[in-house]
């Protein structure tokens, strides 16, 4: 017997299809007691394969007899005793730095037994997943640590804060995605009906390959953007994977859930121009040869 005795109305299905993990309620439903899912999320954030989650609790209330309380979106504990508080924040105000300080104090006061010595307090992480890039530096993640200013070294209180930049563009079904520089816009990007861009400009082109929609178009992004691409499943009955190649060479296999981050290199390549012919004239000649 299914969850619904009859098919739900179409309008509800359309609402459900628009939900994303950045939506607070949907996130809670997806990770409620989901040890495997939370483990995968933390392994992605920390780029580690050895994180094993033992406990996941959603919407845990932390009452305070002397003042303000809180309700944590997710509290997770791993096999080494580390504690992770994961919070979904669509509004910038909800990810205020003082909110992280407040959550930290409540976790310490509630998770430690009365006789626990301070040196035995567990390491914990406050992780805010924000819909927008609240720091505006176009980075996928921001790590905040307490340091001794005069010594420029960690304070060592085992308390950490991470802001995950969850700024979302869109999802697409298709055969692939091309990320191109202006110089590379006349190669694979052009073959996939992407725009031709003057190489003197600075930008990142994102062009879908054989997208399963009539409304798919190339997107022009700021050159300083950090773009994160995630491989998501389409079929539950077969093993799926993807590949990333660099200028058509050096293929690297990617599994479902793997993410690829694309950003501008800090190193610039200087090109020597052997002709006085400008870009538009060169393009006109090349295009006329193929017609």
How many angstroms separate the CA atoms of 193 and 188, rounded? 9
Task: Give me the helices (H) in the chain, please.
Answer: 10-18, 24-31, 35-46, 97-111, 188-191, 279-290
Average the pLDDT over 71-80 and give the result.
89
Burial grade of 158 (CB within 10 A; 0-12, 13-18, 19 or more): middle
CA distances for 270 relative to 39, 164, 220, 273, angstroms = 44, 34, 23, 10
pLDDT of residue 1: 43
The closest of 260, 223, 40 to 251, measured between CA atoms, is 260
Claim to verify: residue 23 and residue 157 sit in the same structural domain: yes
Per-residue burial over 265-283, b = 16 or more CB atoms within 10 Å of its CB, e = otherwise: eeeeeeeeeeeeeebeeee
Claim to verify: residue 85 and residue 15 sit in the same structural domain: yes
End-to-end Cα spacing for the chain: 61
Q: What is the pLDDT of residues 148-202, one digit of tens each?
A: 999 999 999 999 999 988 776 667 778 889 999 888 888 888 888 888 888 888 8
Tokens of 277: 């012919």
Residue 119 Rama label (left phi>0; alpha psi -120 to 50; beta): alpha
Claim to verify: residue 76 and residue 119 sit in the same structural domain: yes
Domain stops at, among 139, 165, 191: 165
Query: Which tops the pLDDT comparison, 70 or 145?
Result: 145
149 inside domain:
yes
pTM of the model: 0.58
Query: Which of the residue ranges 60-64, 132-136, 252-256 would you say has the lowest mean pLDDT?
Result: 60-64
Tokens of 263: 């950003």
- 3-state secondary structure at position 9: coil
Query: Which of the residue ranges 74-83, 231-240, 273-282 would you say has the lowest mean pLDDT?
Result: 231-240
How many angstroms separate the CA atoms of 108 and 120, rounded? 12
SS3 content of the chain, % helix, strand, coil (to 5): 25, 30, 45
Which of 61-70, 246-255, 277-286 reaches the highest mean pLDDT?
Answer: 246-255
171 inside domain:
no
Average of per-residue pLDDT values in the chain: 82
Claim to verify: residue 87 and residue 52 sit in the same structural domain: yes
4 inside domain:
no
- 3-state secondary structure at position 70: strand
Residue 199 belongs to a domain with what CATH number?
Answer: 2.60.200.30
Neighbours of 180 (CB within 10 A): 23
Which of 5-9, 14-18, 57-61 reaches the highest mean pLDDT?
Answer: 57-61
Claim to verify: residue 114 and residue 238 sit in the same structural domain: no
Query: Which of the residue ranges 34-38, 146-150, 204-208, 231-235 would you say has the lowest mean pLDDT?
Result: 231-235
109 inside domain:
yes
Claim to verify: residue 143 and residue 80 sit in the same structural domain: yes
- Which residue segment(s) compose the domain that 206 sits in? 180-290
Q: What is the pLDDT of residues 132-152, one digit of tens each?
A: 888 888 777 899 999 999 999
pLDDT of residue 272: 82
Q: State how many domains the chain has.
A: 2
221 inside domain:
yes
Claim to verify: residue 145 and residue 215 sit in the same structural domain: no
- Model confidence at 236, pLDDT cuts 50, 70, 90, reads low
Structure-token match 């619904």, residue found: 4
Claim to verify: residue 149 and residue 30 sit in the same structural domain: yes
pLDDT of residue 83: 92
pLDDT of residue 113: 72
């Amino acid at each position: 017997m299914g969850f619904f005795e009859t098919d739900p109305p179409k309008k509800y299905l359309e609402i459900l299809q628009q939900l994303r993990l950045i939506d607070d309620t949907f996130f809670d439903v997806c990770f409620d007691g989901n040890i495997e899912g939370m483990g995968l999320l933390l392994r992605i954030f920390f780029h580690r394969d050895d994180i094993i989650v033992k406990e996941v609790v959603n919407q845990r209330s932390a009452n305070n007899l002397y003042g303000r309380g809180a309700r944590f979106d997710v509290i997770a504990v791993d096999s080494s005793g580390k504690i992770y508080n994961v919070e979904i924040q669509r509004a910038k105000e909800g990810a205020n730095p003082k909110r992280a300080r407040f959550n930290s104090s409540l976790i310490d006061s509630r998770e430690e037994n009365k006789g626990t010595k301070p040196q035995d307090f567990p390491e914990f992480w406050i992780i805010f997943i924000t819909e927008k890039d609240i720091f505006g530096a176009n980075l996928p993640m921001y790590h905040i640590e307490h340091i001794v200013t005069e010594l420029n070294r960690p304070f060592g209180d085992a308390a950490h804060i991470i802001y995950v930049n969850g700024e979302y563009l869109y999802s697409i079904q298709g055969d692939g995605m091309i990320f191109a520089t202006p110089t590379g816009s006349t190669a694979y990007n052009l073959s996939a009906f992407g725009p031709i861009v003057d190489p003197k400009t600075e930008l990142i082109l994102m062009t879908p390959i054989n997208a399963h929609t009539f409304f798919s178009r190339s997107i022009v992004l700021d050159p300083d953007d950090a773009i994160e691409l995630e491989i998501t499943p389409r079929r539950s009955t077969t093993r799926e994977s993807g590949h990333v190649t660099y200028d058509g060479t050096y293929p690297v296999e990617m599994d479902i859930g793997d993410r690829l981050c694309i950003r501008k290199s800090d190193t610039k390549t200087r090109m020597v121009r052997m002709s006085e012919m400008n870009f538009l004239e060169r393009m006109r000649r090349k295009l006329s040869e193929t017609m």
